Amino acid sequence: MDEQLKSNLTSSKHWLRLVYMVLFSIFLQVSSLVMWVLVAVQFLFALITGKDNVNLRRFGDSLSQYIYQALRFLTYNTEDKPFPFADWPESSVVAAPAEDKVVEQEIIEKGSES
């Protein structure tokens, strides 16, 4: 048992992961700050224009995926390192705003009434 502990403590693999974990912890803190700024800007945009900004929504989606990837790495749920050691996550947000779907549904409903 003593030999196993000594082997673990001197393993460069564990210490290198610690360096990555500190680095991704810093990235995670910065990402969280950017996310809160994004939330505030998106809210103001929606308040002023009456609808959200699709580009901000896409960026928010990809940023939230990055935060998820970083948390998975930090909690030992994956060995895959997130950006900048991998590609930035792609957004899965559909380009059409939600209001267009509501208007389209209302048109379909009115057309079926006549």
Query: pLDDT tens, 19-63?
Result: 999 999 999 999 999 999 999 999 999 999 989 899 999 999 999
SS3 of the chain: helix, strand, coil, percent, to 5: 75, 0, 25
In 3D space, the residue among 72, 92, 90 whose CA is nearest the CA of residue 80 turns out to be 72
| Backbone phi, psi, residue 97, to 5° | -65, 155
pTM over 0.85: no
Q: Tell me what pLDDT residue 26 has.
A: 97
pLDDT tier for residue 98 given thresholds of 50, 70 and 90:
low
Question: Comparing C-alpha atoms, which of 6, 1, 14, 62 is closest to residue 34?
Answer: 62
DSSP 114: -
84 vs 35 pLDDT, higher one: 35
- What's the pLDDT score for residue 93? 78
